[in-house]
Structure 1
């Protein structure tokens, strides 16, 4: 009686889905509402228009997938690390050379930070910072992670 008086209709939807060249119509009724339906479009689709009309509840999901072209990595710096011959078994001396090799119009970089992570069991020796600070472009030397990472702050790097 209530349904007749207020115009009850069973769940039902009509979905119109279209793009520039294709039109699809999906009809969802109370007996098919749990069936997943899908519409696919070509990769050159520029827009999709969805119109829905009905009663009850409906869930619409739109998925879009695309790939990005990966560019070849062009490193800005070339880093060469050499381990100096050991003077004792408990000492590790590293020689780290950094070259700015950016292949653009830039001839020098802005501020740069070089982080050197030491192998486990080694910590940096603060007395060796003097040699690093004697390099003209180096502004500051610091450590982190309980002296297991040495950070060298360069004011700039020039191409040679």
Structure 2
């Protein structure tokens, strides 16, 4: 993940967000097989719960920014520790119930993004009010949240992966 301006293209920004969520949920469906050992990615460690937390937080944080800017005020800055920390809750077993909750939460957050992005005009997407990336760039930045899912990966036993 980077602070550089996201590169955009002619894809529908709402579809960019939903494609990331679809990718995330495909991998998350395998995480009930997690053996409890944190997975190293660069200088950080990840677990299924941490990936869910990070994607949820990222969707919420930037949606909050988008809505604040549309309302004409500055977004409340986040004070989350992001992926720098791993909480005891991140280390808990990842069960079918956890998967169901993650699907529900992340799918609903993605729907908020889709509804909001689809309500914006092309001009609003590309000439967004306030400081920061355009709303189109924010949507494309969200696609980078697939990093968290990829850090955990596909946890199906090797024999079942095709």
TM-score band w.r.t. shorter chain? under 0.3
Using CA pairs below 8 Å that are at least 6 residues apart, which structure has the higher relative contact order? 2
Larger radius of gyration: 1
Q: In proportion to residue count, which structure has more strand?
A: 1
The TM-score with structure 2 as length reference comes to 0.22
